[in-house]
Structure 1
Amino acid sequence: MRKYIFILLVINYCTSCTSPNGEQLSRTEKRDHILKNIVPPTISQNAMLLTDFGAIGDSLTDCKPAFDEAIKICKEQKGGKIMVPEGIYLINGPIHLASNVCIELQKGSKLVFGSAPSDYLPVVLTSWEGTFLYNYSPFVYGYQLENIAIIGEGTIDGNARDSFSKWAEHQKESQLLSRQMNHEDIPLPERIFGSGHFLRPHLIQFFECKNILIEGITIKNSPFWCVHLLKSENITARKVKFDAFNRNNDGFDPEYSKNILIEDIDFNNADDNVAIKAGRDHEGRKTGVSSENIIIRNCRFKGLHGVVIGSEMSAGVQNVFVENCTYSGYCKRGIYLKSNPDRGGFIRDIYVNNVEFGEVEDFFYITAYYHGEGKGFETDIRNIFVDNVKCRKATNAGLVIQGYPSKKVSDVYFSNVHIDSCATALSFTNTENIVFDDIVIGQEVKIPSHAK
């Protein structure tokens, strides 16, 4: 295996930004300014037991009516905390949340969702792979709500391995129809899916919500994406554990959303751990709401990819901080930024600091030509700052940047990067102003040998 060493000293590149009053903010100042705007909701002290509404944790009794009644009472009383004691609770249909409601899954409790598709009808307004449409309800759904929380030491189990997950084999026709509706700007009321279609519902979705807390719970066996944060803001997710191995079981998918803190998470997903999105193609550009101000820290990655931006990101992604994270198992790619010339939009002001991976296929990968397709709407990718990152082994490539001929990836700054071994150290095409400072790929070369 070839070994490479790159030690290029570059002085005075700037990782700061400008505040509205013209002052320069450092990376940490910018991050801390964002953190001030992320405040978890206050949890209601109006506590009630789900079992008082007829729920039985015997894995057989349908407890959806109990949830519906408890949430109704919470709405009437302007808020409440629904406590779910130890037991296995079958839920045949979706839980539709209300503002000022907290669900506390106590230790030993598990919500197991039923697998009959008809239980998740009528259709609700949602989004699927970056296109707004009406589809089966997400299993836990919040629409235009405030001050909502799901906390505790219990589990939400989508129970989808042998049911909804298998729909992926039959989804192509409906998937292509949704994209056609997107590109042709078909009116939203005409985008009706649900029965007769095979677009899998999300496990948890917050849509146009604000002030959200997800803490402590375990999430497993999702039908599709696990937690979809759609057009929402002020979100805290911490100490969540994932055990999700079905197809497209992303962990967190922020989309058109902002002011998000994802911290101290144990990922174990069959797909992306965090995938930041902002709409697909025409509709994303038309919506024009960027995903921004997202902090991912102190997490342990395991799954397909650690942190991904794209590929549905047509409204743009900016101000993302990935810091103080490590790995608990294999990831195909560590950090992955992807778009193509169908998307447009931008990816900018991305900060990766103090991050470590073990064995991966590719360590750090940027592509503006994802799947080698698209035309007419190139993505502007710039201002990427990577500092103090490590990887033990990259079986394919260490650092990859693939720009587009008419829109090069620019202004990417690597410092303190150490990769112990990899097949290909660097692969940069259609790039400009890529800056290195203290890069070691392979075994570090020290004092030069001399003639004897």
Structure 2
Amino acid sequence: MKKVFLVLCISVLTSFVSVSSATNGWLNILNEGGNNKGELCTEAIQKAIDKAEKQGGGTIYFPAGEYLTGALKLKNNITIHLDAGAMLRFSTNFDHYLPFVQLRWEGTVMQSFSPLLYAKDVENVTITGRGTIDGQGEAWWKEIWRIESSKEKLELTKYQKMTQEANKDLKTEPYYERTRSYLFHRPPLFQAFNCKNVRIEGVTIQNSPFWTINPAFCDNVTVDGVTIFNPYSPNTDGINPTSCKNVHISNCHISVGDDCITIKSGRDADGRKWATPTENVTITNCTMLNGHGGVVIGSEMSGSIKKITIANCVFDGTDRGIRLKAARGRGGVVEEIRVSNIVMNNIKEEAFMFNLFYDKNTVEEPVTERTPIFRNIHISNVTATNVNTACRIIGIPEMPIHNLTFSNINTEAKQGFSIDTATDIELHNVKVNAELGAAFKVLNSKNIILENVSTAKPIKDTPVIKLENASNIMINNNFQMYPTDVFLEANGSGTKSIFLKNNVFEHVKTIVKKGKDLNSEIKTN
């Protein structure tokens, strides 16, 4: 009786799987001509995708095993599902990513190698499962290293010649000409171009040739529970939405060879031509390990970036924590940014970096569409330990960075906060324990509030706050709990309208140290 029952159950289950595969849109790739032995099966996978689309959509199911493929083009209503133990590897033969396709590459829309997984002008594209996608990027990395490390100009490869020919009418700024026309353009692992409802969930992605998850001009993008691992590799950013809206990034674990998460919107005149901002982005509950930056905005921001929230994340070992970067010529506005509840550790450079001088070779110019703008950015509830520099703010004279606030910040760093060429900056309840120099420096800036700022480790004969050519500064509600030699040092002929109010200086030897170039009185009460 038990044997009959068991046979009956197996029969019903087999029938269910068969019917389900046939009627519910589940296509087992092993039944569609593919193999899980690591033998190239691009054609079988692409045919399964095309077949599913013709049926109105469906799921291409990859059981455990190893699959080798070239570039794949995703279609409407398609899900790629990688079961636990499934490894989708991409070919190291560059010809398998031809012909060229339209994509945005480093902020410029152009023709180049197909992304490994590519979707264009479609809806409802999904990649899920507990399997792994391996871009086998080392072959691509070695080629770019070969070209960049050469001490003499090399003969162009067929791929470089193809790139030049395919993009001969594309115009870029002179500084970018070599990158666009001479270097080897590695493809992103995933790019959806002008798509709606894009979801990547649960999978592990490793060894990307270039940027890893790179939606462009998309609406409603979700990246949830994804692990990205690109060790010792060039320009292998983790997640880079560019000119997208309604983006949700959560519960991800990222360790890469460049920035972990970067928000972009196009480069220079090409970005302004497409004029599509990135907006309505949430980044939550993520951990970032190796990477140049934890969360970065720019430097390709010419289409503008706005309405971004970053919360409940951990950065451990990144070069920088939160980084905004742009330069003259880029244009665009970064605004309405909120960062909260962040823990940082082992940050090699700055915990916070706001830099409008990313290209140091530019010169001051009139304010035009080429002028980048950072404004209305607010950061709160951050703990940062073992940091090289707590914060650097660097504006440009024709467009100072403005309307930034920092609240409830606690930082252990070698160097403290530095504010240069900025206006309307507020620090509330900020503690910086710096090892070198003043904990807080304000240079060439105005309209600054420093409320309840302090250090628990005063440095001998070194001010807690240093002002140089700074004006309209309110320093209030401060209490140095520990013996301090100098609280404030002020210098520069442009330093004026400095107000100290409601401060307690019981443990301070010298409240104000005046520099020889100071022409204005410091008002205290």
Give the TM bin, normalised by the shorter chain: 0.7 to 0.9
Q: Which residue type is aligned with residue 170 of structure 1?
A: I
SS at match of 2:170: helix
Question: Which residue does 2:42 correspond to in 1?
Answer: 64
- Residues 431 and 317 from structure 1, CA distance in 2 versus in 1: closer, same or farther, beyond 3 angstroms? same
Question: Match for 1:388 among 366, 370, 381?
Answer: 381
1:337 aligns with 2:315: no
Q: Deviations over 1:124-157 (max 9, x none)?
A: 1112111111111111000011011000000110
What is the CA distance between 1:164 and its match in structure 2? Answer: 5.0
Are 1:218 and 2:204 matched, yes or no? yes
- Written as runs of structure 1 = structure 2, the 5 A alignment for 1:401-416 is 401-416=393-408
How far apart, in 2, do the equivalents of 1:184 and 1:401 lie? Answer: 26
Query: Does the Cα contact within 8 Å between 2:328 and 2:359 map onto a contact in 1?
Result: no
1:182 matched residue in structure 2: 171
| CA deviation map 1:79-104 (0-9, x unaligned) | 0011100001011x211000000000
Query: In structure 2, how many angstroms separate the alpha carbons of the residues matched to 1:435 and 1:197?
Result: 43
Correspondence for 2:57 among 79, 83, 92 = 79
Partner Cα separation in structure 2 for residue 64 and residue 113 of structure 1: 9
Identity of aligned residues (%): 32
Structure 2 match to 1:138: 115
Q: Which residue of 2 aligns with 1:425?
A: 416
Among 243, 251, 260, the residue aligned to 1:264:
251
Q: 1:378 maps to which residue?
A: 371
TM-score by length of 1: 0.83
2:183 and 2:415 map into 1 onto residues whose CA distance is 43
1:227 paired residue among 202, 213, 220? 213
Relative distance call for 1:313 and 1:448 in structure 2 (3 A) is closer
Q: Could you tell me which amino acid in structure 1 is paired with residue 249 of structure 2?
A: I
Per-residue CA deviation, residues 248-281 of structure 1 (Å, 9 max, x unaligned), is 1101111111100000000111111111111110
Aligned-pair distance for 1:166?
Answer: 2.6
Q: Does 1:244 align with 2:255?
A: no
* Bigger Cα Rg: 2
| Root mean square deviation of aligned Cα | 2.4
Any gaps of 5 or more consecutive residues in structure 1? 1-43, 186-191
1:14-413 correspondence to structure 2 within 5 Å: 45-59=24-38, 61-91=39-69, 93-163=70-140, 165-170=142-147, 181-183=170-172, 198-245=184-231, 246-304=233-291, 305-327=293-315, 329-360=316-347, 361-374=349-362, 376=365, 377-395=370-388, 397-413=389-405
What are the Cα deviations for residues 393-430 of structure 1, in whole angstroms up to 9, with x where unaligned? 212x10110000010000000000000x2122011111
CA displacement, residues 204-229 of structure 1 (integer Å, 9 cap, x when unaligned)? 11000010110000011111100111
Runs (5+) with no aligned partner, structure 2: 1-22, 175-179, 434-454, 457-478, 484-505, 508-525
* Deviation larger for 156-165 or 378-387: 156-165
Residues of 2 paired with 1:133 and 1:415: CA distance?
42
User: How much does 1:46 deviate?
Assistant: 1.6
Report if aligned partners of 1:182, 1:281 keep a CA contact under 8 Å in 2.
no
Counterpart residue number, 1:22: none
1:359 maps to amino acid: N
The alignment's TM-score, normalised by the length of structure 2, stands at: 0.72
Alpha-carbon distance in structure 1 between the residues aligned to 2:172 and 2:33: 47
Distance 1:288 1:163 in 2: 31
The CA deviation at 1:45 is: 4.3
Contact 2:140–2:186 under 8 Å retained in 1? no
Distance 1:95 1:58, change over 3 A: same
Structure number with greater CO (CA < 8 Å, separation at least 6) is 1
Query: Residue 254 and residue 339 in structure 1: after superposition, are their counterparts in 2 closer, same or farther (change >3 A)?
Result: same
Distance (whole Å) between structure 2 residues aligned to residue 391 and residue 152 of structure 1: 34
Give SS of 1:372's match: coil
Measure, in 1, the Cα distance between the counterparts of 2:308 and 2:187: 27
1:440 to 424, 428, 431: 431
Does structure 2 conserve the Cα–Cα contact (< 8 Å) formed by 1:234 and 1:259?
Answer: yes
Aligned counterparts of 1:166 and 1:264: Cα–Cα separation in 2: 33
What displacement does 1:287 show?
A: 1.4
SS in 2 for 1:254: coil
Runs of 4+ that moved beyond 4 A: 171-180, 445-451
Distance apart, 1:233 and its partner CA: 1.1
